[in-house]
Chains A and B, each alone.
Chain A
Amino acid sequence: MITKILSHFDIPEDALGTVPRLTIIGGGSALVENHRGLDVLGSERVVISSGGGKITLLGEALELASMTSAEVLISGDIRAIELG
């Protein structure tokens, strides 16, 4: 219902802060906004909870660059992203 209303007014879904917004910068870092916490933090796998499910980042030498209650920045050699 809310999705339909937002679509009607041309407002992006992530504006409400309930669905995640994922930004990849050149394969070297990934910014996840509207997250709900970190589930797994490893050098080859990072799992982040979000309103729309879990975001899994796979790669090598992954590191948590910074984290606030609103966003998580992961840096490293990101090879794959799984959403689910």
Chain B
Amino acid sequence: MERLLNLARGCVRMEFTGAEPEELINRLALRGIPFWSPEKDSVGALRVTVLRRDVGGIQNGGFHARIISERGLPKLWRALAHRWILLIGAAAIAALMLWSSVHIWQIDVSGNETVPTWRILSALDSIGVGIGTNWLSITQDNVRSEALLLLPELKWLTVNISGSRAEVIVREREDIPAITDRTEPTDVVASVSGIVSDMSILSGTKLVTAGQTVLAGETLVSSGITNLAGETRLVNAQASVIARTWHTITAKSPLTAAVRIQVSEKKRRFALILGTKRINFYKSSGIYTTGCDKIILEHKVSCKGLFSLPVSVIEIRTVYYDTEEQTRDEFALRDELITLAEETLHYRIGDNGEVVQQSLSGSVCGKALSVTLRAEARQDIAQSKAFYEGVTDND
């Protein structure tokens, strides 16, 4: 601590000559001049370090002394005093940092899953919270209230300010599960063609029997129920209809693919972002073309965790490459197509469906590989269809 204080006050290394070193030390002590690190050399000179404020007293006190070196804050200040442009620059940067620290230059949104980030940012911008906004003028409650009005999908929102960074945390409303209206008249139709093997009717009138072939869209269970008096009333038909179904799925892919073979050219372009203004240091616009990779890097002027200035250097690297048609590994490609076909089959028969048997065949047709999956499955083909769907009211 004392060392730091001495550096702040300024220290001078002095060399004394003309008397015995011990005599010089005694005289310094007698005059109450603090000193440290005394060092005698072979010719009898004494070097000590003293505070800069005592140099005048030493030089006027009859000592034969000369200054060897100096260090500390006063020296630094004298050095800077002649470099006024540097001082102005430092003051300007300090002022810019101060001004920047009360403005928002980065907005991060988290917690959103279905509501896109751009919608949240747009809503915030419309209520006055955006890049360049003075966060001192933001009231948390007002922002929350207004933003939730604009974004009804959200149930909660908060804006945490940390330096020049605003962290927007949102919570989305949970969707209320669709409620089936059991009073609405519905038929049960076949979702795919097949042979009915088992039926379980909860309500409605059965129109087909086990062993019967049905076509996709054919009504399996009717919503109309006739009572003993011959009156018909409409109900919400519900049933589980298990049927044997057959599927043919074909997956195709070219045997050749364009492969990148060499990098032909690299180009670097730069742009500067000051707040919300962008200055491009290139003439042509950034049109995306094939045959190149465009990598955009943003270098923010910031001190991580402390502050960030509204200045970013954008570096755009464009790497052009040539491609060549190369033949793909047929076995690997076939495995990919089989996997794709099986995934499609499982999507069609649903989670409760069951593959009874399946066969695969493959062929090369021209420059394409084709894989065909033929499968027999057992699946629930019942699908609800509103009774009035497609009915036109002529009244």
Interchain CB contact under 8 A, A69 and B32: yes
Residue A68 lies at the interface, judged by CB distance under 8 Å to chain B: yes
A66–B49 Cα distance when bound, in Å, is 11
Interchain CB contact under 8 A, B22 and A68: no
Distance from A11 Cβ to chain B, minimum over Cβ atoms (Å): 27
Residue A41 lies at the interface, judged by CB distance under 8 Å to chain B: yes
Residue B26 lies at the interface, judged by CB distance under 8 Å to chain A: yes
Residue B202 lies at the interface, judged by CB distance under 8 Å to chain A: no
Interchain CB contact under 8 A, B25 and A38: yes
Interface size on B, residues (CB 8 A): 13
- Which of B21, B29, B38, B40 is packed against the most chain A CB atoms within 10 Å? B29
Residues of chain B contacted by A67 (CB below 8 angstroms): 25, 28-29, 35
Interchain CB contact under 8 A, A41 and B29: no
Q: How does the 8 Å CB contact mask read for A54-77 relative to B, with 1 for contact and 0 for none? A: 000000000111111100100000
Q: Is the interface of A mostly helix, strand, loop or mixed?
A: strand
Interchain CB contact under 8 A, A64 and B38: yes
Contact of A69 (CB < 8 Å), options: B30, B38, B40: B30
Interchain CB contact under 8 A, B25 and A41: yes
A65–B21 Cα distance when bound, in Å, is 15
Distance from B51 Cβ to chain A, minimum over Cβ atoms (Å): 13
Interchain CB contact under 8 A, A38 and B26: yes
A60–B22 Cα distance when bound, in Å, is 18
Contact of A38 (CB < 8 Å), options: B22, B32, B34, B35: B22
Interchain CB contact under 8 A, A66 and B40: no
Residue B282 lies at the interface, judged by CB distance under 8 Å to chain A: no
Distance from A61 Cβ to chain B, minimum over Cβ atoms (Å): 13
Residues of chain A contacted by B26 (CB below 8 angstroms): 37-38
A52–B202 Cα distance when bound, in Å, is 121
> From A63, which residue of chain B is reached at the shortest CB distance?
B38
A20–B40 Cα distance when bound, in Å, is 26
Residue A40 lies at the interface, judged by CB distance under 8 Å to chain B: yes
Contact of A41 (CB < 8 Å), options: B21, B30, B36: B21
Residues of chain B in range 21-52 having any CB-CB distance to chain A below 8 Å: 21-22, 25-26, 28-30, 32, 34-36, 38, 40
Residues of chain B in range 124-151 having any CB-CB distance to chain A below 8 Å: none
A40–B22 Cα distance when bound, in Å, is 6
Q: How does the 8 Å CB contact mask read for A32-44 relative to B, with 1 for contact and 0 for none? A: 0000011111000
> From A36, which residue of chain B is reached at the shortest CB distance?
B26
Distance from A22 Cβ to chain B, minimum over Cβ atoms (Å): 17
Contact of B36 (CB < 8 Å), options: A38, A40, A66, A69: A66
Contact flag A41-B32 (CB < 8 Å), given A64-B25, A67-B25: no
> From A64, which residue of chain B is reached at the shortest CB distance?
B38
Interchain CB contact under 8 A, A69 and B29: yes
A41–B24 Cα distance when bound, in Å, is 11
Which A residues form the contact surface with B (CB < 8 A)? 37-41, 63-69, 72
Top 3 nearest A-B pairs by Cβ distance? A37-B26, A67-B29, A38-B22
